[in-house]
Chain A
Amino acid sequence: MTTELNDIELFKRILNKDSKALEALYDRYSPVLFTFIKRIVNDTAIADGVLADVFVIIWQKTSKLNFEHHNPYAVLINLCRNKALDTLRRAQNIELPEYTGDFEDEFILPKLSIHTPQNDLSKILLNREKIQFAIHSLTEAQQYVISLAYYDSLTESDIAAKLNIPLLTVKSKIRVALNSIKENLAKEGIQ
């Protein structure tokens, strides 16, 4: 029953503390989220822990995720990214504020634009090959810069320092890369 529901409906049920809905959400999203978290933390055990933390956050703070106004998929991806990066930084003994509920609300919960286009995981997985084509159509340099920015959470200046290239070059590469993906996806009719 819960498996037939879309992401927003599942979130609504989770909001009403429906554990079956959370289970259905886990079954649906866990492969994508686990793969993404593992790509960031590069450790299976840590990835498991982060994924568990994410679902606990979803269960506890569903109302704060604003899933009705946002894209649920984008919310979950950004939530996982924030949590994974925070876990990684804390594991690397980087000085960070104490992890409290307020800190979680402020820095872990994603802050997305209200006008994020609605998207569902089932649709995304249906168009997976097209999305992959759109991403792989970028140059290797663009792909590398984007991966450093998105998965390794390096700022533009960090990337410039790491690659020993001008900051403006990094900015332009990021800009051009995302614009080209947008165009490619628009051509495929996804966005």
Chain B
Amino acid sequence: MIDEQKIIGLLQAKALGCLDPSDEKILSEFIDGGHLFPWDELGTFQSIASLLPVSLPLEQPDPSLKDKIALRLIKLTEEIRAQKIIEEEKQIPPEAEINLPQEPDFIEEESEQQVEEINDLPELTPEQHGDFEEVTGIKIKMPDVIEEEFKQQVEELNDSPESTSEQHRDFEEVAGIKIKMPDVIEEEFKQQVEELNDSPESTSEQHGDFEEVTGIKIKMPDVTEEEFKQQVEELNDSPESTSEQHRDFEEVAGIKTEIPDIIEEDNFNMEIEEATFNLDDVALPDYESTSSTETDFDQIEQPGIENITEKPFEEPIIETPPIDTIETFKESSAETSIDDIIESTVIDGVESFNEQFTEEQEIEEAFEEPLTKTQSSDMAEQSEEQQIESVSAGIYAQTIEPLLDSETVVESTEKISEETTEQVQDKAVLETKEISGSDSEKQPDITKRSVADKMFKAIEQDFDSLRYHYERSEAKLKRGLFVSYIIIAVLFLLLIFSFFKLSGDINNLLDEIKSLKKNTSSSLLNEKKVNSFYQFFG
């Protein structure tokens, strides 16, 4: 006999699902025994137990889980359907075998014959099919033969010249079958589009009309795009081709014609090929070709010469090495004197030049070793001979005029240079003679000043170089001293450290000896210690 109180005591555990197997067995026996079971109490506790998850903080599942469940359910339903179909198929054959003998064979044959007769009819329509279905009660599946006939009719419609989308629609309405546009028709439409494009009056409006008439949205084929490009190229190739014409063309055609890069590149390549890389033959747009003459070229090049003549006279002399100074001076003086002669009067130029020449020559002489008497006498003889040749002829008036009017600049400049050099040399000879003579008081002041300046500059440079070397050596010396100071300081510190350490060690040893002396009772050890002490420090 099972105690009811004990059973009631098990309900809580039963509701929570934590009942021991032994208690579970007792409960099942109690229920099976036909006793009055407290189902209400159990239901209440089960309800209370189910409320426990409410105390948990709620979390949302993954949003995609819903879709996954839906997909899973769809798959399950499909599987169930497939299973049902398979089961039905398994069940149907025996039923068909049973039913078929019940139906006489002639009925089937008659119905098949009727279907064939209807299909053979030329004016066969779906309505007739519907009537037939209503009359016979047999669902007719459209045979392949009829589909082929429909296809043939569609092709005939397409082949006919008046074939339009309206006819297609009518046909679709009559036949009740949605006709898929075959490829043949699409090709015809493309041809029509091409014809429209080829026609000179072809506009976007016509395209629109065509689309409205046919009811088919025409996608611009690639062929027409190429034609448009060709038209655009023609417009570009035409001499009067402008952006306005492009705009007009775009307005007429109703199509935005973007000038392709290929056309621009082609034009550019054509120009390059025709030019054959000759820059002179290249005709730039909006550029008036001007024939470059020699005079213009000289005009371009002349400012450079002027700039050279405007340069200070002394600068090249300072930079040139001392040995070649006379020669270079002569050359430079000749070149510069040409320009001066051309621009100004010859006499003033020569005089000023001679003054400068004498100054520079003296400077150079001052820097160089003094000439020997033989050299000076040779120079004097040469200068005298040149002076006789040049001065006697009265060259200046004759040479300057042809020089200004001369055809070739080079010849004139050479002549002038020769003449001027001769004059300069003559002047120099004369002045040297004069210097040695009466006017020797003024010239030395000038030469002395210039020499002094040069000397001063040279000394300054020497001082600068000396200062630089001195500073460098001083810096090196300072650096070396600094390093040596550091090394000395480190060594000194090491010395001090070693000294203190050594003294500390000595003190420690002494202390140890003293402590050993105090601790030791043996006289022998004391003696040994003492001896050792004296051995170390004796």
Contacts and interface: CB of A to CB of B under 8 A. Distances in A.
List the 8 closest pairs (A to B, CB-CB), nearest first: A113-B43, A149-B18, A116-B43, A36-B53, A115-B43, A74-B50, A34-B61, A77-B50
B398 interface: no
B55 interface: yes
A69 B486 CA distance: 104
Contacts of B68: 48, 52
Interface residues of B, number: 42
B13 interface: yes
Interface string A117-143: 101000011001001100110000000
B134 interface: no
A174 B42 contact: no
A159 B17 CA distance: 13
A178 B18 contact: no
Interface in A29-76: 30-32, 34-36, 38-39, 44, 47-48, 51-52, 55-56, 59-60, 71, 73-74
A182 B45 contact: yes
A136 B55 contact: yes
A162 B76 CA distance: 43
A34 B21 CA distance: 29
26 contacts: A26-B66, A30-B60, A30-B65, A31-B58, A32-B54, A36-B53, A71-B47, A112-B43, A113-B40, A113-B43, A115-B43, A116-B46, A131-B54, A146-B16, A146-B52, A149-B13, A149-B18, A156-B20, A158-B18, A171-B9, A171-B13, A175-B9, A175-B12, A178-B49, A179-B12, A185-B48
A114 B18 CA distance: 20
A174 B50 contact: no
B59 interface: yes
A178 B19 contact: no
A177 B15 CA distance: 12
Contacts of A52: 65, 68-69, 72
A174 B16 contact: yes
Contact of A131 (B55, B70, B73): B55
Contacts of A39: 53, 56
A154 B46 CA distance: 17
B27 to A, nearest CB: 12
A6 interface: no
Given A23-B66, A159-B18, A32 B44 contact: no
B51 A32 contact: no
Interface of B: 9, 12-13, 15-21, 23, 39-40, 42-62, 65-66, 68-70, 72-73, 76
Interface residues of A, number: 62
A38 B50 CA distance: 15
B63 to A, nearest CB: 10
Q: Which of B20, B42, B44, B48 has the most chain A CB within a 10 Å cutoff?
A: B48
A155 interface: yes
A81 interface: yes
Contact of B48 (A78, A112, A154, A191): A191
A41 to B, nearest CB: 13
B20 to A, nearest CB: 5
Contact of B18 (A78, A117, A174): A174
A87 interface: no
Given A39-B56, A51-B61, A150 B73 contact: no
Contacts of B54: 32, 124-125, 128, 131-132
Contacts of A177: 12
A96 to B, nearest CB: 15
Contacts of B21: 155
Contact of A191 (B47, B53, B59, B72): B47
A88 interface: no
B58 A149 contact: no
A36 B60 contact: no
Contact of B13 (A117, A124, A156): A156
Contacts of A22: 73
Given A31-B61, A32-B53, A155 B46 contact: no
A19 interface: yes
A59 B76 CA distance: 10
B39 A149 contact: no
B47 A74 contact: yes
Contacts of B45: 178, 182
A78 B50 CA distance: 7
Contacts of A34: 59-61
A8 interface: no
Given A32-B53, A32-B54, 5 more contacts: A34-B59, A77-B53, A148-B18, A156-B18, A156-B20
A61 B20 CA distance: 29
B484 to A, nearest CB: 77
A35 B20 contact: no
A181 interface: yes
A48 B47 CA distance: 25
Interface string A14-31: 000001001100100011
